[in-house]
Amino acid sequence: MLVQTKKKLDIDMLLTALIGLLAGLLIQALLFSAEQREALALGRRAAENFAPQAAAVAESFLDREETALSEAQSRLRALTARKQKDYAAENRALLILVNPWNPMPADFVPQVGEVEDGYEMDLRAVEPLQEMMAACRAAGNDAYICSAFRTHAMQQSLFDNKVMRVMYEEGVPYEDAPEVAGKTVAVPGTSEHELGLATDIIDGGYPFLDEGQEETATQKWLMENAWRFGFILRYPNGTTDITSIIYEPWHYRYVGPWAEEIYRRGITLEEFLALRQGK
């Protein structure tokens, strides 16, 4: 009887402890839930109060970013416009016309650099000429530059020499000699070589500056491909009445991006410029 009573008390105590534990857990759970609910409520109220401020900050930030982007775009457009203007001006300068009726501009000062073997060209033509010569040789041709940029003094010396030669070798009177000489050697101040944009190229197997050059492999290749590198045959056959210069199948002029159109049309630089002026 006493054993049964003790067991009953132990069970009651156990149940009481268990009930107490469950009650404590339930109260803690209820309290935690209340705290959580309160935290959520506080969060909502804070968010409601902060939302207008956050929106204002975000709007201000976006405004600043939009302004900065707009200014950056404006600077980019201005820079692009300047570059396009400079590029256009540079290209127009490549079309500068120098012939017996259009002497070198008084303020024109060529900026030159070496191409090969001591020959120099306008800096804009250096790399294209090097590439053209390399491609021509890679095609199996024996191409050589025999003239490029000339100073005014050098052109004067060449012209004076030609005047003397036509007088003594051809018997041309002194008063007519300069005009005759000017058909093959430009009068100083009217030579494209002084621009630094012209070069004379010959075939190693035919080192003569005469019409026989057109029959060489070098000239055949150049006449067909020079435009790819920005060069044109400056004095084509049958155009002396336009250029006043004899047919020179060795003389190439750098005109950059305009070369293809001039080549495709089969016209001289004089004719091309006349067409442009007529637009």
- pLDDT for 47-59, tens place per residue? 566 556 655 655 6
pLDDT of residue 150: 95
The answer to whether the beta carbons of residues 171 and 251 sit under 8 Å apart is no
Q: What is the DSSP string of 118-147?
A: TEEEEHHHHHHHHHHHHHHHHTT--EEEEE
User: What is the token pair recorded at 167?
Assistant: 């007088």
CA distances from 114 to 74, 86, 230 (A): 40, 24, 18
The reported pLDDT for the residue numbered 250 is 98
Q: Does the global pTM surpass 0.85?
A: no
| Per-residue model confidence as pLDDT tens digits over 41-100 | 666 666 566 556 655 655 666 667 667 666 666 665 554 445 444 434 455 579 999 999
Which amino acid would we find at residue 233? L
Residue 209, pLDDT score: 94
pLDDT for 184 equals 84
Q: 272-275 long-range contacts, Cβ below 8 Å, gap at least 24? A: 272/95, 273/95, 273/97
* pLDDT for the residue numbered 89: 46
Q: Are 231 and 136 in contact (CB under 8 A)?
A: no
Which residue of the set 120, 192, 194, 248 is catalytic?
A: 248
* Average pLDDT score over the chain: 82
Instruction: Please give the pLDDT value at position 105.
Output: 87
Q: Which amino acid is at 268?
A: T
Name beta bridge partners: 11: none
Other beta carbons within 10 angstroms of residue 129's beta carbon come to 25
pLDDT at residue 83, rounded to an integer: 42
pLDDT at 107: 84
Q: How far apart are CA 94 and CA 109, in angstroms?
A: 13
pLDDT value at 23 more than 80: no
26 vs 248: which has the higher pLDDT: 248
pLDDT band at 148 (very low <50, low <70, confident <90, very high): very high
248 is catalytic: yes
Report the amino acid identity of residue 245: I
140 Cβ contact partners less than 8 Å away, ≥ 6 residues apart: 217
Give CA–CA dist 256/92, Å, rounded: 10
Q: How many CB atoms lie within 10 A of CB 175?
A: 7
d(CA 183, CA 235): 12
Complete edge-to-edge strand list for the sheet that includes strand 143-147: 143-147, 198-203, 248-254, 231-235
Positive or negative torsion for Cα 258, 263, 269, 272 = negative
